[in-house]
Chains A and B, each alone.
Chain A
Amino acid sequence: MNYQPSDYLPILVQLGAAIAFIVATMLATHWLGPKRHSKLKDDVFECGIESIGDARTPISVKYFLVAILFVLFDVEIIFMYPWAVNFKALGWDGFMEMIVFMGLLLLGFIYVIKKGVLKWEK
């Protein structure tokens, strides 16, 4: 199989169509829609409580730790999906390898708990 750059032309067409759709709808809404300005209409949040202060406040580093740990253990699920799909084809070898992987991950989890990362008030 020999691919030429011209074989990818449909992707380019698709990209062009997507951009054209966005540009067309945005132009259409600006052109067709009614324009009424008022203090309430131009608020950042039209409903709910009035916003106070700046969004950029310092946040405790604990949130970041929890967020990173969440990502870590979340990504591992993505690794398990292809394994689950090919569970029978991979057989016992695949099972043992997944056990090793999960074992290492579990050790990491125990380490995190013992280190007290998830303890909120220390």
Chain B
Amino acid sequence: MNSIIALSLFGIANLFLGFLNNRKILMPATLAFILFALGLNLADWNTEVLWFNNMLRTNNLSVNFTTVILVATLLVVAISRGFGDDEEHSHPAEYYAIMLFSVVGAIMMVTFENLLMLFIGLEILSVSMYVLTGSDKRNLRSNEAALKYFLMGAFATGILLFGVALVYGATGSFSIYGIGNFVTENRMGQSEITPMLYVGILLIIIGLLFKVSAAPFHFWTPDVYEGAPTIFTAFMSTVVKTAGFAALYRLLSVSFVGEYGKWVYLLYFLCAATLIIANITAVYQQSFKRMMAFSSISHAGYLLMTVTSNQATTQSSILFYSLAYSIATVTAFAVMILVSENKTSNGKPDESFDAFKGLAKNNPLLAFALAVSMLSLAGIPLTAGFWGKFFIFSDAFKRGLILDLIVAVLMSAVGVYYYFKPIIASYMKEGNIQEITIKPIYKLTLIITTILTILLGLMPDLVKSIF
């Protein structure tokens, strides 16, 4: 909880650091800020406290989710470099500050106790992301992405808020446990049932599914991911997804668990639809960035599967999967940033698979990091992604979600096809990529994420026992 206050102040501090005319200290300062917040967050371990008149609750679950979010942010900040040397049109201090502010929103989304805090957290996160998406001001695609994201996101937030209002009207409570009690009493016939509650639940689920980009609310994702500067795409696909699923899980498992029989069908079919649409469409992509966008939608499908199963192990499955997915995604984007900036087509960074041709010859580290991250995303054994999928599939099996399981296994096989495209391009195709110079911290981040992915693949219990 203290991490929220600390990060807000650090964000402001970052704004003022921007006046120092020394852009080099910004990134180390931001890294130090996030590490400090991580320490504050871990200090809350094994305490259960309600904050601000029962608005936020910190417990081990929220500490775990916050840790995953902060680790993902740490990695993304570590691979951010300079944001161009254009004095007039780039504002690195502001970008870092907005990233810190958006993390505040994400932490609120995983610690909320009151639906109003969920809404505020979601808005802080979303508004920051709209700005960061459009931060490449002179790029038409970036502008288009920001506008699309903003218009669609504003609608989704409105739908979510309408759902919150209806649920409040039906249950008379904003607190997630208050709603939970009402719904459970409802099942036992002690309180009166109204259709308003179901409409409210439906609208809230739609609003949150939009934010985590599950089908059929995923149409904004490819354009926004492709248009946004790559570093913020990496941020978006890790932090926003983790926070969104934490919020969805908490809401469904605490407030609406009494009506499980009603919403399970909705998520059951949406999960299958998400997996099929995302994986089939990803096969046809030529751009690596766009492929990663569809890959992010498909991972939303897998995560949705464990939310649908609603087992006791669901929370640790979501945590492990988010961690494995975040690490692998950041690695993949980190390699892509270097490769695409190295090879330009028509004056713009080349983001197609062709840019990776012959990467392994002169840059073995980059190619290896890319290969490991792709294997992890595809769910090949001995990587973290395999265990993530394993835990999720076993959750779904325990609940007996047979259709989802069949679809998920088939679509994992499809996933292997498109995740191997960059690996094949970098190892087996001929190309002329010279050795790319990498800054030490960038190199260190790549090595750490690669080792983490393999380590978690060999010994998932390292973190699984904590979650």
**Is B284 positioned at the interface, with any CB of A under 8 Å from its CB?**
no
A-B contact pairs, 5 of them (CB 8 A): A104-B12, A107-B12, A107-B16, A111-B16, A114-B19
User: Does B152 sit at the interface, judged by CB under 8 A?
Assistant: no
Nearest chain A CB to B21 CB, angstrom units: 12
Kindly state the separation between the CA atoms of A114 and B12 in the bound complex, as whole angstroms: 14
CB distance from A96 to the nearest CB of B (A): 14
Shortest Cβ distance from residue B12 to the other chain A in the assembled complex, whole angstroms: 6
Q: Is B15 an interface residue (CB 8 A)?
A: yes
Nearest CB of chain B from residue A28's CB, rounded to whole Å: 43
Q: How far is the CA of A111 from the CA of B15 in the complex (A)?
A: 8
- Cα–Cα, bound, A107→B15 (Å): 10
Chain B residues, CB < 8 A from A111: 15-16
> A9 vs B325: C-alpha distance in the bound complex, in angstroms?
57
Q: Which of A63-122 contact B (CB under 8 A)?
A: 104, 107, 111, 114
B20 to chain A, nearest CB (A): 11
Encode B11-31 as 1/0 by CB contact (under 8 A) with A: 010011001000000000000
Q: Which residue of A lies closest to B16 (CB)?
A: A111
Distance A20 CA – B133 CA, assembled complex (angstroms): 50
Cα separation A107 to B16 with both chains bound (whole Å): 9
The minimal Cβ–Cβ distance linking A109 to chain B, given in whole angstroms, is 12
**In the complex, what residues of A have CB within 8 A of residue B19's CB?**
114
Chain A residues with CB under 8 Å of B16's CB are 107, 111, 114
* Beta-carbon contacts under 8 Å, A11-51 to B: none
Give chain A's interface secondary structure class. helix
List the interface of chain A (C-beta within 8 A of B): 104, 107, 111, 114
Smallest Cβ distance from B322 to chain A, in angstroms?
Answer: 32
* Docked CA distance A85–B19 (Å): 39
Residues of B within 8 A of A (CB): 12, 15-16, 19
Write the chain B residue with the least CB distance to A107.
B12
How far is B16's CA from A114's CA once the two chains are assembled, in angstroms? Answer: 9
CB neighbours of B12 from chain A (8 A): 104, 107
Contacts of B15 in A (CB 8 A): 111
Q: How far is the CA of A64 from the CA of B12 in the complex (A)?
A: 24
Distance, CA A37 to CA B15, complexed state (A)? 61
CB closest chain-B residue, reference A108: B12
For the complex, give the distance between the alpha carbons of A114 and B93 in Å.
14
**Chain A min CB distance to B51 (Å):** 15
Q: Which residue of A lies closest to B97 (CB)?
A: A111
In the assembled complex, the Cα of A107 lies from the Cα of B19 at a distance in Å of: 13
CB distance from B326 to the nearest CB of A (A): 31
Q: Which residues of B contact A104 (CB under 8 A)?
A: 12
How far is B12's CA from A107's CA once the two chains are assembled, in angstroms? 8
> Which chain B residues border A107 with CB–CB below 8 Å?
12, 16
Q: How far is the CA of A104 from the CA of B16 in the complex (A)?
A: 13
Closest Cβ neighbor of B15 among chain A residues: A111
Closest Cβ–Cβ distance, residue B11 to chain A (whole Å): 11
Return B4 CB to nearest CB of chain A, in Å.
Answer: 14
C-alpha spacing A111/B19, complex, angstroms: 9
Q: How far is the CB of B7 from chain A (nearest CB, A)?
A: 14
> What separation, in Å, do the CA atoms of A111 and B12 have in the docked complex?
9
Residue of B nearest to A114 (CB): B19
| Distance A104 CA – B15 CA, assembled complex (angstroms) | 13
Bound Cα distance A104, B12 (Å): 9
Select from chain A the residue with minimum beta-carbon distance to B19. Answer: A114
Cα-based distance from A114 to B19 in the complex (angstroms): 8
Separation of A107 and B17 alpha carbons in the complex (Å):
13
Interchain CA distance A104-B13 in the complex, whole Å? 11
Q: How far is the CB of A70 from chain B (nearest CB, A)?
A: 21
Complex: A44 Cα to B12 Cα, angstroms: 50
Measured between C-beta atoms, what is the minimum distance from B108 to chain A in Å? 17
Nearest residue (CB) in A for B13 is A107
Residue of B nearest to A104 (CB): B12
**Shortest beta-carbon distance from A63 to chain B in Å:** 20
In the complex, what distance in Å separates the CA atom of A67 from the CA atom of B16?
23
Shortest Cβ gap from B47 to chain A (Å): 24
* Cα separation A111 to B17 with both chains bound (whole Å): 11
In chain A, what residue has the closest Cβ to B8? A104
Q: In the assembled complex, which residues on chain B have CB atoms less than 8 Å from the CB atom of A114?
A: 16, 19
What distance in Å separates the Cβ of B423 from its nearest Cβ neighbour in chain A?
A: 46
B134 to chain A, nearest CB (A): 16
| A61 CB, min distance to chain B CBs, angstroms | 13
Q: Which 6 A-B pairs have the closest CB atoms?
A: A111-B15, A114-B19, A107-B12, A111-B16, A104-B12, A107-B16
**Closest residue of B by beta carbon distance from A103:** B12
A59 to chain B, nearest CB (A): 20
Q: Report the minimal beta-carbon distance from B251 to chain A, rounded to whole angstroms.
A: 29
Taking the closest CB of chain B, its distance from the CB of A103, in whole angstroms, is 10
Cα-based distance from A104 to B19 in the complex (angstroms): 18
CB distance from B90 to the nearest CB of A (A): 14
Give the CA-CA distance A107 to B8 in the complex, in Å: 12
Bound: A41/B12 CA distance, A: 58
CB distance from A87 to the nearest CB of B (A): 21
The distance from the CB of B337 to the nearest CB of chain A, in whole angstroms, is 28
Instruction: Tell me the minimal C-beta distance from B52 to chain A in angstroms.
Output: 11
Q: How far is the CB of B39 from chain A (nearest CB, A)?
A: 23
When chains A and B are docked, how far (Å) is the Cα of A102 from the Cα of B19? 22
How many Å lie between the Cα of A108 and that of B165 in the bound state? 33
**With A and B bound together, what is the CA distance between A53 and B348 in angstroms?**
42
Give chain B nearest CB distance to A91 CB in angstroms: 16
Closest chain-B Cβ to A95's Cβ sits at a distance in Å of 18
Minimum distance in angstroms from B17 CB to a CB of chain A: 11
